[in-house]
Amino acid sequence: MSLASPGRLVRTLRHLRACQLAAQVRVRATPGWHDPSWVARLAPPPPPLVRHGRVTAWLPPDPQANTAAALHAGRFEFVGDERVAGWPPDWTGGDAPLLWRYNLHYLDWAWALPPAERLGAALDWAQRHPPAPAAVGWAPYPTSLRLGNLCLLAADDESAAAALWPTIWRQAEHLSRRLEYHLLGNHLLENGIALAFAGACFTGPDADRWLETGLGILRAQLPEQVLPDGMHFERSPMYQVRLVHALALLANTGHDPVRSVVAEPLARMAAALAALRHPDGQIALFNDAALGVYPEPGAVLAFAAAVLGDRPAPPVPVHLPVAGYFTGRSAHGDAVFCDAGPLGPDYLPGHAHGDMFSFEVSLGGRRALVDAGTFDYVPSDMRAYCRSTAAHNTVTVNGADQAEFWGAFRVGRRGRPHDVRHAITTDGFVLSGWHDGFRHLPGAPVHRREFRWHDAGVLLVRDEVSATRPVTAAARLRLHPGCRVLEVADRGVKAACGDVPFSVAVGAGPAPRVAEGWYCPRFGTRERCAVIVLEDRGRDTGFAFAVARGHDAAFGPDGRSLVAGGRTFAA
**pLDDT tens digit sequence for 382-396:** 999 999 999 999 999
Residue 120 is classified by DSSP as H
Structural contact between residues 403 and 359, judged by C-beta atoms closer than 8 angstroms: no
Structural contact between residues 111 and 63, judged by C-beta atoms closer than 8 angstroms: yes
Structural contact between residues 194 and 144, judged by C-beta atoms closer than 8 angstroms: yes
At 521, which amino acid appears?
P
Beta carbons within 10 angstroms of residue 480's beta carbon: 22
The CA–CA distances, whole Å, from 532 to 151, 370, 401, 549 equal 49, 12, 18, 17
Q: Biggest alpha carbon distance in the chain?
A: 81
pTM: 0.95
How far apart, in whole angstroms, are the C-alpha atoms of residue 176 and residue 174? 6
> 239: part of which helix (H) or strand (E)?
helix 237-251
Residues of the chain with pLDDT under 50: 1-2
Structural contact between residues 361 and 353, judged by C-beta atoms closer than 8 angstroms: no
Q: In this structure, what are the phi and psi dihedrals at residue 419, rounded to the nearest 5 degrees?
A: 50, 40
How far apart, in whole angstroms, are the C-alpha atoms of residue 414 and residue 2? 18
pLDDT of residue 1: 47
User: 452 in the Ramachandran plot: left (φ > 0), alpha (ψ -120 to 50) or beta?
Assistant: beta
pLDDT of residue 4: 60
**Closest C-alpha among 103, 109, 108, 102 to residue 67:** 109
How far apart, in whole angstroms, are the C-alpha atoms of residue 487 and residue 80? 34
Q: What is the DSSP string of 384-416?
A: HHHHSGGGSSSEEETTB-SEEEETTTEEEEE--
How far apart, in whole angstroms, are the C-alpha atoms of residue 307 and residue 293? 22
How far apart, in whole angstroms, are the C-alpha atoms of residue 125 and residue 475? 50
Radius of gyration for the alpha carbons in the chain, expressed in angstroms and rounded: 25
How far apart, in whole angstroms, are the C-alpha atoms of residue 206 and residue 201? 11
How far apart, in whole angstroms, are the C-alpha atoms of residue 561 and residue 270? 38
pLDDT of residue 156: 82
Following CA atoms 205, 211, 213, 216 in sequence, which dihedral angle do they give, to the nearest 10 degrees?
-140
Structural contact between residues 56 and 307, judged by C-beta atoms closer than 8 angstroms: yes
How far apart, in whole angstroms, are the C-alpha atoms of residue 126 and residue 99? 20
